[in-house]
Amino acid sequence: MNISERVLNESDYILKTGYTIREIAKKFKVSKSTVHKDLNERLKKINKEKYIKVKNILNYHIDVRHIRGGESTRIKYLKEM
């Protein structure tokens, strides 16, 4: 599989599932940095329309990460009690 194929597969996967970069990295067995570069830089050059859709999902993840992090911390401390 070449880089362009991987980028398109990752973009299709995030559009289908809405998963985070971390989950996509695990699925495709690459680093989070690679997925980030694939979806934020390489995809823009390969397919502009998909890039815009993927960017919307990634922006949503950025917008809600403080909520997810806070919820994870809350659950962690509830388990310790």
pLDDT tens-place string over residues 37-54: 999 999 999 999 999 999
pTM: 0.79
- More confident site: 28 or 75: 28
Predicted confidence at residue 11, as pLDDT, reads 96
The pLDDT of residue 67 is above 80? no
The span from the CA of 24 to the CA of 57, in Å, is 13
